[in-house]
Structure 1
Amino acid sequence: MLARGIKTILFLIISNTFMTFAWYGHLRFKDFQWAKNLPLIMVILLSWGMAFFEYLFQVPANRAGFEEEGGPFSLLQLKVIQEALTITIFMIFTTLFFKTEKIAWNHMVGFGLIMLAVFVVFKKW
């Protein structure tokens, strides 16, 4: 069960990394000569191509992690894990690739509340 939980989280990390690059990476295309003047449809197709790899990890992660498939997590727990990983990866991505974006105190408070949501969802009341 522990192995399935670890596999789920690792696959969700990989999946969310691809997702973040698909959703926001194209905003950095202007920095590359080959991509500066791409028409929007090409940007969309490139993003879809990246999102394909997201799904190659997202679907197996959810199957491995879902309790009805033998995994350790409920559907709600899977979703909260995914959201917490998404915001974590997004904050790292933003810090590394968008140097002009500043993470302020209110962003950190919001991030903390998302992490609190993980605690609340997993707590056995």
Structure 2
Amino acid sequence: MRYKLLSLSLAVLTTSTFCGCKKDTAAPPCYAGKVVGLTCFDGMLINVDPAYRIGVRATRNDSAHSVLGTNVISVVNTMDYGRLATVGLTLHFNAVNDPNRQHSGLQCFAADGVQGGVPRLVLGNVSTMGCQEGPR
């Protein structure tokens, strides 16, 4: 009887050891991209790493129609990031499309915007060093 109990205990221990923990597949991916512009209406513009197709090709609405990038997103919550909203910085972040946090039609100078239907996303977990693993 003792051996059966010991064998059963070992079987349970072995099974739970090999099964391990499951990763949280609901966690948003960590994106990387370079800040390519700042505008009144669109906020911070980021050209995201081409491995993540979340943006679009965009040009600045100026006389030269300057190309901003091929995978550009607009950051709805730019004001949350102060000094990180600097052209040339590479940022790591999570992003979601939150219709409740979209702008309601701010009017800016005509040359301030971008062309290309840039997706307007809400960023979280923004860093210059890489995304954090879970809440801290």
| Superposition TM-score tier, normalisation by shorter sequence | under 0.3
> Which has the larger share of helix?
1
**Structure with larger Rg:** 2
The TM-score normalised by the length of structure 1 is 0.19
> Which has the larger share of strand?
2
Ranked by relative contact order (alpha carbons within 8 Å, sequence separation 6 or more), the top structure is: 1
The TM-score normalised by the length of structure 2 is 0.18
